[in-house]
Amino acid sequence: MSDLRTPLAKVRGLGSAKGGTHHWMMQKVTALANIPLVLFVVVSFVGNVGKSHADWVAWFKQPLAAVIMILFVLNTMHHLRLGLQVAVEDYVPSHGNRTLVITLINFVVAILAVLSVFSILRIAFGG
């Protein structure tokens, strides 16, 4: 079968990046992992409604609660990054703008994840 790429595309090496399947699978895996994590967070938060600040801090100091909250934050942020990247790749036509926006998304999501985990650890271990 003949190659359907243009000569310019052949020279530039444009074509399948062979990463789409992995990206798609990671979106599904993170979505699946979010189900029990979100259920834990919702049930825990509903159970703590109306409690004092000290009660909330005591809840966060429980090792299981802190670990699950960290897993929730990291998994949710990774899922967010994957989803936003797909949206940008689908709807931003300019390669330069697409690269810039994806870089900004990665930066902002990483900062949010680090700050969230730091906050959870600070509450859990005092300070």
Domain-located, residue 88: yes
Neighbours of 30 (CB within 10 A): 20
Instruction: Give Cβ neighbours of residue 61 (< 8 Å, ≥ 6 apart).
Output: 123, 124
- Indicate whether this model's pTM tops 0.85: no
Rounded CA-CA distance 85/22 in Å is 14
Domain containing residue 104: CATH number: 1.20.1300
Is the residue at 76 inside a domain? Answer: yes
* Mean predicted confidence (pLDDT) in 49-55: 94
Q: Is residue 13 part of a domain?
A: no
Tell me the angle at which helices 53-60 and 95-124 cross, rounded to the nearest 10 degrees. Answer: 100
Residue 102 counted as domain residue = yes
Helices and strands counted in the chain (H then E) = 5, 0
CA 22 to CA 5: how far, in whole Å?
24
- In the chain, the number of structural domains is 1
- Predicted confidence at residue 23, as pLDDT, reads 85
Q: Which tokens go with 43? A: 């049930």
Q: pLDDT digit string (tens) for 18-44?
A: 567 888 899 999 999 999 999 999 999
Residue 2 belongs to some domain of the structure: no
For residue 52, give its domain range: 34-124
115 pLDDT more than 90: yes
24 lies in some domain: no
Residue 117 to residue 125: CA distance in whole angstroms: 12
Q: Is 42 part of a structural domain of the chain? A: yes
Would you tell me how many other CB atoms lie within 10 Å of the CB of residue 82? Answer: 19
Asked if the structure places residue 120 within a domain, the reply is yes
| Contact between 99 and 86 (Cβ < 8 Å) | no
